[in-house]
Amino acid sequence: MYKLKNLHKDYPLYETKHFNDIREMVENAAKDYPERVALSYRVTPKDEEAVRVTFPEARDRIRDLGTGMIDAGCRDAHVALIGEASYNWVCTYYGLMAVGAVVVPIDKELPPDDILGIMDKAECTHIFYSPVAEEKIAAIRDRLSYMKQFICFDEPTIPGASKLSDMVARGAELYAGGDNSYYETEIDPDRMATIVFTSGTTGKGKGVMLSQRNICSNMQEGMYNFHVEGKTMFVLPPHHTFGSTVNFVGHYALGVEVYISSGTRYLLNELKAEKPNHLVLVPLFVETLYKRIWQTAEKSGKADILKKAIKLSNGMRKVGVDLRKKLFKDVLSAFGGNLEMIICGGAALNQEMIDVFEAMGIVILNGYGITECSPLISCNRNQYRKTGSVGIPQHGSEVKIANPDENGEGEICYKGSNVMLGYYKEPEATAAVIDEDGFFHTGDWGKLDDEGWIYITGRLKNIIILANGKNVYPEEIEYEIRNVPGVSEVVVYAGESKNEKREIIVAEIFPDEEEIEKRGITDVKAYFAAEVKKINDRMPPYKTVGHIKIRKEEFVKNTSRKITRFNIDKSID
């Protein structure tokens, strides 16, 4: 077991902010940063200028909205929140937390019946929603007889629904008239504050119960480990705890401007316009930016020059000379010119990408989190990073490896103030993952080094256990295959050969058509078979891929952009 005490004797902790609940965070930020912009956004993606809201302005709107929420009976209620990331979404999330409601953030991409199922299970009595979700809500309106109130972020079309701005106006009127219920509402930081339904990649998700202490302490302790400043851009789904906790709690508390993106299709244009200092992304977004760099270089005929510049940059940095801003000015300007860091989590990230970005002047802090831990567990540090590691655990936490094998690998178990209260209405499922000592069993397989840094080997549910008792981690093989030119996506799993009636390791590949065409490859399966054979030659015999399967369309993913492995057809021709 490793208990975090001293991160590194030569690398002190960063400053953090202390607050017990979201309302206190909002009030503190307004007091500490009266002139700074808190949140910015474009009303429409084509707007040249963004709307910029200061911390005091945001505080006033959240207070007025919260007062209106109390008047509408939201205090102590279970409240659904559905929509894309927006200023209204953020103010509603903060407001509900600030008045003691239980927020149930729901993915707007889910089909109507799934949305209904979540609201039924979470016992929601109020719903706040964006117009983009209105059609789905209208489709299940007749089955929501228990819903007391529908509040739309804009002009509603559902009969009986009201408008968010009217609730804000009502709250402002009440507050101006002496109603101080917003501030008088007592907040118990240890009480359930939100139910987050995991999207899951291996089956049906569960309702994760988090308290305000879980969320707030996650950022208080986590921000000791890494430093952020200036401006960031929010591009992740808001119902996802990675973005909502790190951006809308951690960054907000530290006085960092959060620009709310209009959507992924506008990302590159907004990067140029807003010039963020850092981003919080999942690997899919990093991979998209990486591919765009090389596609642009190929089209301009400068790919070889770029490769030489990377080699030169790495060589000069070894002797203490940093030429990155000059050598990669054109590349960096495509991201706004100020981007220096990307905090990445949610899945494994190719080390080659991390190395290339750093060679160009953009540091990637690879991290590790899970919804049940609010979500941050660990992260690399700004000036102290280890290749292949997902970083050092957050301050004040404990990590142990359960039942380690001869290599020190086993299930990663975590204990800290950010560990969930449990799964909503699923005590048996809760007991199965939180042991008697309070450690949450993550389901991830990995190891610790002598400084307590975490290395993830694979996902416990994905491990292939062969007939000879050997364990194969699909992620290890996928990492190798993903580096093969022409691979867009790959999943490795155990299949069964119908002819030979034996278990076999399968690599199912979705090709990158543009790369395949550029290389003049006509027999795609033969090409990948030859490339995978090279990988097999480097692997122990029991880890070798025995069958290549080519997909005609990309893998099905959840809304966190993770491949849903449980619905893959594993039959072999």
DSSP codes joined into one string, 172-208: HHHHHTT--HHHHS---TTSEEEEEE---SSS---EE
C-alpha distances in Å from residue 524, one per residue of 488, 509, 553:
13, 10, 14
Question: pLDDT tens digits, residue range 383-393?
Answer: 999 998 999 99
CATH 3.40.50.12780 residue ranges in the chain?
Answer: 23-188+248-255, 278-460
Contact 243, 565 (CB under 8 A): no
3-state secondary structure 45-113: CCCCCCEEEEHHHHHHHHHHHHHHHHHCCCCCCEEEEECCCCHHHHHHHHHHHHCCCEEEEECCCCCHH
pLDDT the model gives residue 10: 72
Domain 23-188+248-255 CATH superfamily = ANL, N-terminal domain (3.40.50.12780)
pLDDT the model gives residue 201: 38
3-state secondary structure 37-59: EEEEECCCCCCCCCEEEEHHHHH
Alpha carbon distance 127, 104 (integer Å): 9
Architecture of the domain defined by 278-460: 3-Layer(aba) Sandwich (3.40)
Sign of the CA dihedral with 514 first, then 517, 522, and 523 last: negative
Pairing mode of beta strands 376-379, 392-393: antiparallel
Give alpha helix (H) positions in 223-302. 241-245, 252-253, 267-274, 283-299
* Furthest C-alpha separation in the chain: 80
The string of DSSP letters for 324-339 reads HHHHTHHHHHTTTS--
CATH number listed for the domain at residues 463-567: 3.30.300.30
pLDDT the model gives residue 462: 79
Task: Name the nearest CA neighbour of 433 among 410, 446, 414.
Answer: 414
The string of DSSP letters for 261-280 reads -S-GGGHHHHHHHH--SEEE
The string of DSSP letters for 13-43 reads PPP----SSHHHHHHHHHHH-TTSEEEEE-S
pLDDT the model gives residue 200: 47
pLDDT the model gives residue 219: 96
For the record, the structure tokens of 164 come out as: 């968010």
CATH 3.30.300.30 residue ranges in the chain?
Answer: 463-567
Q: What is the pLDDT along the chain (573 residues), one digit of tens a residue?
A: 545 444 555 788 999 999 999 999 999 999 999 999 999 999 999 999 999 999 999 999 999 999 999 999 999 999 999 999 999 999 999 999 999 999 999 999 888 999 999 999 999 999 999 999 999 999 999 999 999 999 999 999 999 999 999 999 999 999 999 999 999 999 999 999 999 998 643 345 799 999 999 999 999 999 999 999 999 999 999 998 998 999 999 999 999 999 999 998 999 999 999 999 999 998 888 988 998 899 899 889 999 999 999 999 999 999 999 999 999 999 999 999 999 999 998 777 878 889 999 999 999 999 999 999 999 999 999 999 999 899 999 999 999 999 998 889 999 999 999 999 999 999 999 999 999 999 999 999 899 999 999 999 887 777 776 765 667 878 889 888 988 999 999 999 888 666 655 678 899 999 999 899 989 999 999 999 999 999 999 888 888 998 999 999 998 877 666 787 777 887 776
